[in-house]
Structure 1
Amino acid sequence: MMKFFPVTLPVCAFLFVSGVLPVSAQEQPEAGRPKPQRVVNRIAASVNGRPITTAEVRASLYPILRELQVLYPKQGPKFFSELANAKKMILNDLIERELVLGEFEEKGYMMRDDHIETAINYHILTRFNGNRDAFLKGLQAAGQNLTDFRESIRKQEIVNAMRSSRFDRNIPPTPDEINAEYQKIKSDFRDLTQDSIVYDKIFIPFIPYDPSKTPDDQFLLAEEVAKKLKNKEISFADAAKEYSSDSMAEKGGRWDRIKRGELAAEFASVVFSAPVGEIVGPLVDRPDPQTLQHGGFTIVRVVDKSLAPAPPLSKVKEEVDASVRRKRSEERYRQWVERLRNKAIIRTFV
């Protein structure tokens, strides 16, 4: 008889894509549209002959890449260092996943489809602000389709299930342990789409109205404006009226309260992480991927944030219980994975 494992949603989520060009690369090809790039899917690594594809690595790396491109407009050494570290971590996680999958399949276990759909919905909520269209565009940009992604999530949920089943000693967490863990992780269960924010914004376009200016000139201007704001040499309202090209410039750059789900996921991640009153930027404001229009550099000051409340413990007690058990078993699980790794034939190609 097949054994079905329950799914345990991750209590933490990862925090645009290669479509955002460097500042000096805004020249457009003939006909005013970028030529589509072919995404080649290769083998990134293999574990006992089981392949891990570059598409799987790209799909996991996508949200991180988008946020790094917002934070580091010139994509200098820090950008590439953080990107390389993220890629290394993701590949290591995928290798570990394949090690555990081999054990799962050897036992003849199965994973229920409804658990996989629940995990996909959680991924869309936490990494794409609940925006399914943005999620699907991300898959396309990473060279993956929904079927491939569903399989990737199935594999990850198998790892979660194997982890909790193999190393859980069946000693229920105490009420004190449950309450303490809930306090630590309750924010991970919030409905992020209900977060809202008020912010001031200055937008300086990549392609200026003055034909004598270049995107590099625009970036230097954005840096200069941000420096003046941080040094309090000019008020935000005056700077917005003088330098900003967006629709709220004449109102001093003030954007009324807007929900997180209405913002691009990578931009939302940055501004919701910023302290109230801090000058953030210049950030990259991505262009339209087809025309490369409307992209530029953004300087932001958060005025107010309202975060959606965490659900009560009664609604997430099962997930909190699983988190306590998982942390209890961490050392035994790591030892088991290391034994699997030592016995395996692992090859990496990227």
Structure 2
Amino acid sequence: MIPLLRPVFILITCIQLAGTNTSFSSTNPAEQRSEAIALAQLGNGIAAIAEGEIVTFEEVRKSLDPMIPKLRLQASNEEEFKTLINDLSKDILQNIIDRILIVKEAENLGIMIPASYIDQEYDSIIQNDFNGNRRQFLSYLDSLGKSADSYREEVRKNLIVNIMRSRQRENLAQVSPEKIEEYYINNKIRFYQPAMIHLKQIILIAENNQTVEETIKQGEVIVEQLSLGQSIQQLANQYGNKQYNRPNGDWGWVRREDLRSELVEIAFQLKAGEYTKPIQIDNAVFILYAEAIKESMIQPISEVRDIIENLLSQTIIKETTDNWLGKLREKAFIRYYL
């Protein structure tokens, strides 16, 4: 196998050009025009050849484009953005190549997909993704520059890849109870659960000419109604400020870091079923209610056994898949140009 060439400056440049409204691209009209020309010229360049099948730069870019906004948010500067593009582009290219190798391996093994299976999957996509509207589906293909036949071929290859990957998982060893217990003992800190409170609260805001003092008095009335047995849910829906309150006043399970600093100690001193007096912070008044409490603890193995088993299973699957793909790459002819 010919090693992967490191530079991906062409791809980085073209991705930047594709988003000319961002801070990383030129705002000069003349430069934008020249960049657009360069992008058009490079659009059909060869990124790699795998087993005689060409992977174009355009294929890589199409997969990369939807991820650009997220990468731009992650990057703090242009150099970091280039690094993210570099890493992701190589991953995308390798995934495309791996799919080619998997399909080739299936053909070598004589694995065939019945036409009826392909038709069923093809029709299912139209039904589920396009509400059965075949005209809309064909318009979508046209926007991608694909024909119905070429897309059907993609469906066939997707089915083959899924079948081949499934075959790799069929004979995997089961995760034994001993392995689960060993992992739990060696990684107990991962299952540390900090103290949590199932918090319900009523938030009142002094507004519309209502003073803070009047809002506090309203809060005292609500607390009195709580003491008489009215539910926190009903009172939250009745009195809570619509902009800030949640339905039934329910904020779910929260940790210390989830709360305002002024409320942390007060909230975590409550016992299940207890509530506070009105608490004023600026022009807001809070009434906190502890629906339930969880003390800080290491979760027992009985609560995390399924999590550990799934984690270990995923690790085995990844290792097995990586070894399998590594062997396919070793015996394949691959040339990288990206």
TM-score of the two chains, using structure 1 as the length reference: 0.39
Instruction: Tell which structure's C-alpha radius of gyration is larger.
Output: 2
TM-score of the two chains, using structure 2 as the length reference: 0.40
